[in-house]
Structure 1
């Protein structure tokens, strides 16, 4: 990734805001509602930002929302980019590089995911403890700029342990039942077959989706702290005898939005930022 492109996008955003954001939010399918809670928002459509891709998926508005949320200045991606949209891994993760350039060192990444763990049910929120990259590629392939991160970054704590514990304690305090588990990143855009879901369960996957892993890999490369939260929007193929649709994903995320909003807002309120 050309550092000049990152600088140009970062400078464009800096010129739009009075206060620099300290926390990044990546909001997945149906979860962009959190950005509506931001006070005194500065809204920047992706197509106005130099070198930013555009979001093409239903449920992704395609804009940055910057402002105050629970006492912190946040930058929220209301809609993300996916490898299956035809973007390169570098384009998919470009916003994470821009966040780092803006001085953001912590991010909360959210997604809608299919439940692999048969003890889960649609509407559950899952704190991501680890991931499996089943996308067949990596956003870190290619020349490495040592100024952006190490050639061989450590992924043993890709999801910050302190943040995981804090999120679980916050959920307990709010009496919100949360799961915890391993997220598997597939390319999509087709949903998995029942045989693939059985394979992913054997691997140790608890939920499966088509995002998150590239952003988290780049965030770790850039030495950013990460908290990941999945909304289990449906059970993966073969668990329930019904077809999978994106409409179902959107319906489920809408039903759990109050728990999602309450949990994430309280987490943001006192999340350790150092």
Structure 2
């Protein structure tokens, strides 16, 4: 099994580190990994079956070490549905983190806001999601060793972990919004008409990632918490162009706030917040 081989390689390359929390860093947010202490960095190309990103702002390496007092495995960069490689490598990566010891997956991403009062530079805790990618990463034969054929997505974004994230944000003076994230296929940005449609569907932020990782993680029993860095208002809601360079600049500018929040969240984790019985 490819995920098992990847997990074995991870533990071999970082002896003494058994990660508890997996972290996925989105566009322009890879610098957060620089805060990891006693870091061991492994290029995805050296891990069996791992995805190799093709988009600027996604380094493509796994960084293991300690952050906020917790052993972590940080994916510095991700792949997206629009890159055309399918979901097999993404499944391998998330499942490898599970097999390596993780019981929590913290997902981050850059996103466009659909709410005028949550503008660029804000952070938004993800409370739920809408999958509009036109595909599900669990399509195809089910691997019963990881999870059920029909996994529930009720509370896919763990309420207790989200409450801890919000409490830590308040404690360190970060104004943390909360909302529903919709994954849209890309790579083209949404049209103004599509933005209006997504608002009507109940979405608060839109991006091109994150939902597949959540689905895969919940299928294999990982608890999931997520935070989106708002890089722009949706097309038609604000002034100025929306493009990838602007997304990277805005995400990088907000990365320090995300870093503070992640560290605070990790410091707040205790054994009682571990896997559900």
Task: State the TM-score, normalized to the length of structure 2.
Answer: 0.95
Q: Secondary structure at 1:183's aligned position in 2? A: strand
Tell me, yes or no, if the aligned pair for 1:117 and 1:205 is still in contact at 8 Å: no
**Alpha-carbon distance in 2 for matches of 1:92, 1:218:** 8
CA-CA distance at 1:198 after TM superposition: 0.3
Of the three residues 8, 15, 18, the one matched with 2:12 is 15
> How big is each residue's C-alpha offset from its partner over 1:242-273, in whole Å with a ceiling of 9 and x where there is no partner?
22111111111122222111111010112233
1:160 is aligned to: 158
1:121 is aligned to: 119
Q: Secondary structure at 1:113's aligned position in 2? A: strand
2:176 is aligned to: 178
CA-CA distance at 1:31 after TM superposition: 1.0
CA-CA distance at 1:60 after TM superposition: 0.9
Q: Secondary structure at 2:13's aligned position in 1? A: coil
Tell me, yes or no, if the aligned pair for 2:32 and 2:256 is still in contact at 8 Å: no
5+ residue gaps, structure 2, are none
1:43 is aligned to: 41
5+ residue gaps, structure 1, are none
1:273 is aligned to: 274
**Alpha-carbon distance in 2 for matches of 1:228, 1:21:** 18
Tell me, yes or no, if the aligned pair for 2:114 and 2:195 is still in contact at 8 Å: yes
Of the three residues 173, 187, 190, the one matched with 1:189 is 187
Tell me, yes or no, if the aligned pair for 1:44 and 1:64 is still in contact at 8 Å: yes
**Alpha-carbon distance in 2 for matches of 1:269, 1:170:** 9
Tell me, yes or no, if the aligned pair for 1:21 and 1:75 is still in contact at 8 Å: yes
CA-CA distance at 1:92 after TM superposition: 2.8
Q: List aligned pairs for 1:1-274, cutoff 5 A.
A: 4-18=1-15, 19-271=17-269, 272-274=273-275
Q: For this pair of structures, how many residues does the alignment match?
A: 271
Q: Secondary structure at 1:256's aligned position in 2? A: helix
CA-CA distance at 1:75 after TM superposition: 0.2
Q: Secondary structure at 1:109's aligned position in 2? A: strand
Q: Secondary structure at 2:139's aligned position in 1? A: coil
- RMSD over aligned Cα atoms: 1.0
> How big is each residue's C-alpha offset from its partner over 1:70-91, in whole Å with a ceiling of 9 and x where there is no partner?
2111000000111111111222
Tell me, yes or no, if the aligned pair for 2:65 and 2:73 is still in contact at 8 Å: yes
